[in-house]
């Protein structure tokens, strides 16, 4: 079932085609069952994305479910027509949900629809349901911009040192 994916697979993976009983293709195009085809896609997917990756997208839907969150992300590239935009759902549960929420709050942000985010995910391929990912981390700098984060940190440090408002006390 892996023949179509052969160019992405290492040579140590056996590629076999299992014809169905009493069903002989009339041409040279391979024939698969749905399970064989999805199994091949699964192997190819995890060969291409074996580890965590960063994904940038705009939140189009945000759901809280118990101790977790589901985030639907959509393409954020300029010039893409809506009809051609791709989307996918990523999830964060338990500690990871708390981590990304806290990280955003530390930077004065809250996850909400319309927000552009950059999340580190472990890609998931489920043949019956979807392609998605489990959120591992979030980079607030993508939302705020690195300069805005630095500016906010400087202000907070000046306030802690009690010197933030001193210029306002100077005579005009």
Q: Is 159 helix (H, G, I), strand (E, B) or coil?
A: helix
Distances, alpha carbon 16 to alpha carbons 35, 42, 57, in Å: 13, 15, 38
Give me the residue label for tokens 């705020």: 144
Give how far Cα 10 sits from Cα of 7, 48, 64, 149, Å.
8, 11, 40, 44
Non-local (6+) Cβ contacts of 55 within 8 A are: 73, 88, 90, 118, 119, 120, 121, 133
pLDDT tens sequence across 63-98: 998 899 999 999 877 777 877 888 999 999 999 999
pLDDT of 13 over the 80 cut: no
């Amino acid at each position: 079932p892996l023949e179509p994916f052969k160019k992405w697979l290492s040579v140590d993976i056996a590629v076999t085609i299992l014809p169905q009983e009493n069903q002989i293709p009339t041409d040279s195009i391979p024939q698969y069952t749905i399970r064989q085809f999805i199994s091949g896609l699964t192997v190819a997917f995890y060969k291409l994305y074996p580890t965590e990756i960063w994904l940038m997208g705009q939140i189009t839907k945000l759901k809280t479910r118990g101790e977790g969150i589901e985030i639907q992300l959509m393409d954020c590239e300029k010039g893409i027509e809506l009809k051609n935009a791709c989307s996918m759902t990523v999830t964060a549960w338990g500690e990871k949900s708390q981590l990304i929420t806290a990280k955003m709050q530390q930077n004065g942000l809250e996850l909400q629809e319309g927000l552009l985010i950059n999340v580190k995910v472990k890609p998931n391929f489920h043949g019956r349901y979807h392609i998605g990912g489990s959120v591992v981390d979030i980079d607030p700098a993508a939302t705020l911009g690195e300069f805005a984060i630095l500016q906010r940190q400087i202000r907070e440090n000046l306030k802690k040192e009690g010197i933030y408002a001193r210029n306002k006390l100077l005579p005009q």
